[in-house]
Chain A
Amino acid sequence: MTVLARAIDATRRYGDVLALDHVSLDIRAGEVVGLLGPNGAGKSTLINLFAGLRRPTSGTVELFGGSPLDPATRRGIGMTPQETGLPESLRVGEIAEFVCAHFPDRVATAELLARFGLEDLVRRQVGGLSGGQRRRLAVALAFAGRPRLVFLDEPTTGLDVGARRALWEGIRSFHEEGGTVLLTSHYLEEIEALAERVLVVDQGRVLADDSVRAVRGMVGTRRVSLVAERSGDRIDLVVNDPDRLVVELVRSGTPFSGLEIRPATLEEAFLALTSKEPAHV
């Protein structure tokens, strides 16, 4: 498969701070990759390197086989601005038009706004938009130039559930048409819903790079939940070997009901991978 973005042994320092520590990875065409990590893990630095905002201190970063610092290379990417920085006095239609003007193969402004449910706000000044409307405009701008690869940094932070689902639909349909997405999110639910592949990043290093299911399984834990008949309370246990637990339980003759066993969530896997101590039992 075609590699759209590639980091080879990329290291980035800010003074004494090591933001990225020898990171190597490929983003291939057609993937939706979730980037997961605590604040300060290096997620934004990685995106900034791919978008040409920063250079690696050592190592290389490539975009479509070229340098992200070359404006012509950046025609194939889309980014979301932070919605707090949108020019307040401009109208929604004017900002969309301005961003579209940068791309040779641009989307028509009306079409772009309609795709994100902003068509009624064309004449509204950004200063008068709600937080959710700003967020939607910011995400829409990433798609102005018919990008092959889109970087979405926290795309649905601050959106209500309905708006979030609508945006997910937009991202899914972009993916179905062959688009590639690198996505960061505080909501693990979002990564689970959209991404096929997850990169777990902490302290500038990639701790895990695999399918959502594999990363979940990597922790090897299962959550076992049951109701003890004697007290009637529901008990939750996180264990490495649920089979043995159940065997022991049955042997002991303790009455129980409502047994559930399920894999750890991405959140539990994430916490286990990024915390220095082992997460649970």
Chain B
Amino acid sequence: MSSLVLAHTRYLVIEQIRVPIGILASAFFPAVSMVAFVVPFAGRDPVAATTATGSLMFFGAMSAALMGLSSAVAQDRDLPWNPYLRTLPAGPLPRFAGRILSTLAVMLLSVIPVLLVAALFTEATITPVRLLLGVGALVLGVVPFMLMGLCVGFLLASKAAMAVSQLLFFPMAILGGLLLPPQVLPQFVQAVSPYVPTRGAAELIWAAVVGARPGVVPLVMLAVWTVATATAAFWAYRRDEGRRFT
């Protein structure tokens, strides 16, 4: 079974690496934001620079998770290759696990440019332990966005999935304080911010990388969002299965 998971993961990673635009798209915007905003305005302050680096790493990871998964799953459903795979002697698990693992791999690749900019051009500092904790927080925080991506991908055609995931992506990134720190956001945004899943994920990462004290409400909301998106993704999967394979 594990060798099949590996076979599926390898095939999906190769597919994404051969068409690297998806990886570039996830890596490009956060890296540019680092150079344009963090380096000149917060580059001198180690804590602010490290915090901003964590935020933008999550921005890239979230893009890979939400937009990458939703369009990949939606495109899969369009292709006759997908029903063919179901005639092979494997249940749905290797395919599913391969999708998740390959998305994680691409996600980790796409945060490297941000890390490089931070290391080379800012005063951001981090210990190896905190870096590992940060990556762990990143993976944990990105779970609801992966589930959201799966849900959108199972529900919509590929073009619509692209558009909808972008519509979800930018408002959540801004409301969660990934582009600007929450303290400088307008009052009404600050009121909403603790309730979006991006804020909880960001607080987890900030806690990991600079030891900031995370708020209780954002963390509880992150858990609530994870359960809610898991339910929605499972429902969307079952609905799609029922339509195409019963």
Residue of B nearest to A101 (CB): B7
Docked-complex contact A74 and B81, CB < 8 angstroms = no
Contact of B188 with A by CB under 8 A: no
Contact of B183 with A by CB under 8 A: no
Cβ-neighbour of B14 out of A53, A71, A84, A94 (below 8 A) = A94
Residue of B nearest to A145 (CB): B89
With contact pairs A54-B245, A102-B4 given, residues A85 and B79 touching in the complex (Cβ less than 8 Å):
yes
Q: How many A-B residue pairs have CB under 8 A?
A: 65
Docked-complex contact B11 and A53, CB < 8 angstroms = no
With contact pairs A82-B84, A85-B81 given, residues A98 and B89 touching in the complex (Cβ less than 8 Å):
no
Q: How far is the CA of A98 from the CA of B11 in the complex (A)?
A: 7
Contact of A261 with B by CB under 8 A: no
Which A55-86 residues sit within 8 Å CB-CB of chain B?
A: 55, 71-75, 77, 79, 81-82, 84-86
Cβ-neighbour of B3 out of A55, A77, A85, A101 (below 8 A) = A101
Which residues from chain A contact B83 at a C-beta distance below 8 Å? Answer: 53
Contact of A129 with B by CB under 8 A: no
Size class of the A contact interface (CB-based, 8 Å): 20 to 34
Docked-complex contact B89 and A71, CB < 8 angstroms = yes
Which residues from chain B contact A73 at a C-beta distance below 8 Å? Answer: 89
Docked-complex contact B19 and A77, CB < 8 angstroms = no
Interface flags, B71-99, vs A, CB<8A=1, else 0: 00000000111111011111100000000
Cβ-neighbour of A53 out of B3, B79, B86 (below 8 A) = B86
Query: What distance in Å separates the Cβ of B243 from its nearest Cβ neighbour in chain A?
Result: 11
Contact of B246 with A by CB under 8 A: yes
With contact pairs A85-B81, A99-B88 given, residues A55 and B246 touching in the complex (Cβ less than 8 Å):
yes
Interface flags, B110-148, vs A, CB<8A=1, else 0: 000000000000000000000000000000000000000
With contact pairs A54-B245, A71-B89 given, residues A86 and B3 touching in the complex (Cβ less than 8 Å):
no
Which A4-60 residues sit within 8 Å CB-CB of chain B?
A: 51-55
Q: Is the interface of B mostly helix, strand, loop or mixed?
A: helix
Residue of B nearest to A73 (CB): B89
Docked-complex contact B87 and A79, CB < 8 angstroms = yes
Cβ-neighbour of A90 out of B7, B11, B79 (below 8 A) = B11
Which residues from chain B contact A168 at a C-beta distance below 8 Å? Answer: none
Query: What distance in Å separates the Cβ of B68 from its nearest Cβ neighbour in chain A?
Result: 15
Docked-complex contact B87 and A90, CB < 8 angstroms = no
Which residues from chain A contact B90 at a C-beta distance below 8 Å? Answer: 71, 102
Which residues from chain B contact A53 at a C-beta distance below 8 Å? Answer: 83, 86-87, 245
Q: How far is the CA of A52 from the CA of B246 in the complex (A)?
A: 9
Residue of B4, B19, B88, B245 with most partner-chain A CB within 10 A: B88
Interface flags, B10-48, vs A, CB<8A=1, else 0: 110011001100000000000000000000000000000
Query: What distance in Å separates the Cβ of A85 from its nearest Cβ neighbour in chain B?
Result: 3
Docked-complex contact B4 and A87, CB < 8 angstroms = no
Docked-complex contact A87 and B87, CB < 8 angstroms = no
Docked-complex contact B88 and A89, CB < 8 angstroms = no
Docked-complex contact B14 and A90, CB < 8 angstroms = yes
Docked-complex contact B80 and A98, CB < 8 angstroms = no
Docked-complex contact A81 and B80, CB < 8 angstroms = yes
Docked-complex contact A94 and B11, CB < 8 angstroms = yes
Cβ-neighbour of B7 out of A51, A75, A89, A98 (below 8 A) = A98
Q: How far is the CA of A51 from the CA of B84 in the complex (A)?
A: 9
23 sample A-B contacts, Cβ–Cβ < 8 Å, listed by A number: A51-B87, A52-B86, A53-B83, A53-B86, A54-B246, A55-B246, A71-B88, A71-B89, A72-B89, A77-B87, A81-B81, A85-B80, A85-B81, A85-B84, A89-B15, A89-B19, A90-B11, A90-B14, A94-B14, A99-B88, A102-B88, A102-B90, A145-B89
CB within 8 Å of B: which residues of A?
A: 51-55, 71-75, 77, 79, 81-82, 84-87, 89-90, 94, 98-99, 101-103, 125, 145
CB within 8 Å of A: which residues of B?
A: 3-4, 7-8, 10-11, 14-15, 18-19, 79-84, 86-91, 245-246
Known: A98-B7, A98-B11. 4 other contacts (CB 8 A): A71-B88, A71-B89, A71-B91, A82-B80
The 4 closest A-B pairs by CB, nearest first: A85-B80, A81-B84, A85-B81, A89-B18
